[in-house]
Structure 1
Amino acid sequence: MTPDNTEQEPVTFVDKRKIDPETGQIRDAEPVAEPLAGDATAPQPGSVDEGASVDEGTESDKGTQPSEAAPKSDELAERTADLQRLQAEYANYRRRVQRDKQSDIANAKASVVGELIGVLDDLDRARSHGDLDSGPLKAVADKLVGALTSLGLSEFGAEGETFDPSLHEAVQHEGEGHDPVVGTVMRKGYKFGDRILRHAMVAVTDRVGETDASTSDQAAEPAEAEQE
């Protein structure tokens, strides 16, 4: 005997009853062919139903992609903005720390140099008496002055300078004050960079120049007139 390889057809029956036993209503004239229970065949691969289900699934997946990509894009933009804000804050912090550090260094130097101004006054008095013309003390004084100058210390208040109230402290004033200049320096002034450590104590007088020349010219004119 050879096995039957032919595909078995599904068994159906024809219900010729005119009244539906379940609903009690009159049926149509044509009988309805119904398959027996359990004989319904599953859809074959590649059938229309399977393809429709695949297409529906693909369309549903395509429909969900934009909605899922939008939150990710918003989250990425938010994280990028947070990172840029943190970088800006850190850069400002570094600049502020560097600025404060430089200010602290300048204040420390100015404080130390300010304490040595009294030593410079003593050296100036010794120099005016001729004690620093030669010898080991002169070398020490020169090294000290050179070191302070290299740090940014400078002196002001020499005779003949234009009087500046922000730099000079006038304790004596001679003349009418049309063009005041420094006459006598009683104490030098010192600056450390742009910071004034001590004002110069001076006596103020009028500048000798155009005023004296004009006075001499006016005195010479009557003498020339008498000679004529």
Structure 2
Amino acid sequence: MSDNINEINIDKDKNLSSSDSKKKILENNQEKKILKDQLEKEKDKFLRLFAEFENYKKRIKKEKFDIFEVIHEQIIIELIPILDDFDRGLKELKKSKDKIILKGISLIQEKLIKILKQKGLKKIEVKKGDEFNTDFHEAITQIPAIKDNLKGKIIDIVEDGYLLKEKVIRHAKVITGK
């Protein structure tokens, strides 16, 4: 009989330990699930932060490029009056008939124009008699047209206009007929 009691106690212990181990297994599984969820959240947070940082780097790079473009444009805009001065100076030098000085100044002007062309600067082609176009021309005044076919057309060019990479940076100043 005592053997039976011992067996019952052992069976009870087995049942207890089996239920405890099931409980522990369930607890461990729940802890694993919680840890996996936390890991996924942290991984997601990390990936979002990494993507945000990559976007930040791209944005900064673009802003830096844009700043250099604006500075480049400003420098070229500031050089345009020098081209005008060259034109006026050459007109006056042609009156003096000093060929050596005229040639030297012309070479310097050509060199400056060549450099600016390489940087994307182009002169707006304007001729007397062309149609007035507000995209490229600025009418500084209107005068009565001598002929009817000159109404709304360019009669004289006061100052050249320029494009920088297809963007108008200075409109050609013209006189139009009315």
**Which category of TM-score, normalised to the shorter sequence, fits these structures?**
0.7 to 0.9
Higher RCO structure, 1 or 2 (CA under 8 Å, sep 6+): 2
Unaligned runs of 5+ in 1: 1-32, 36-42, 207-228
> Higher Cα Rg: structure 1 or 2?
1
Shift of 1:166: 3.7
Q: Does 1:51 align with 2:14?
A: yes
CA distance in 2, matches of 1:118, 1:132: 24
> What TM-score results when the alignment is normalised by the length of structure 1?
0.59
Equivalent residue for 2:48? 85
Number of paired residues?
166
CA RMSD of aligned residues (A): 3.4
CA distance in 2, matches of 1:154, 1:167: 12
For residues 1-228 of structure 1, the aligned pairs below 5 Å read 47-128=10-91, 130=94, 135-159=103-127, 160-170=129-139, 171-173=141-143, 174=145, 180-205=152-177
CA distance in 2, matches of 1:186, 1:178: 17
Contact in 1 for aligned 2:163/2:169 (Cα 8 Å): yes
Unaligned runs of 5+ in 2: none
CA distance in 1, matches of 2:51, 2:35: 24
Higher mean C-alpha deviation, range 180-189 or range 128-137? 128-137
Identical pairs, percent: 22
CA distance in 2, matches of 1:178, 1:78: 75
Contact in 1 for aligned 2:90/2:102 (Cα 8 Å): no
Q: Go from structure 1 to structure 2 and tell me whether the alpha carbon gap of 1:158 and 1:94 turns closer, same or farther (over 3 Å shift).
A: same
Query: Which of the two has greater helix per residue?
Result: 2
> What TM-score results when the alignment is normalised by the length of structure 2?
0.73
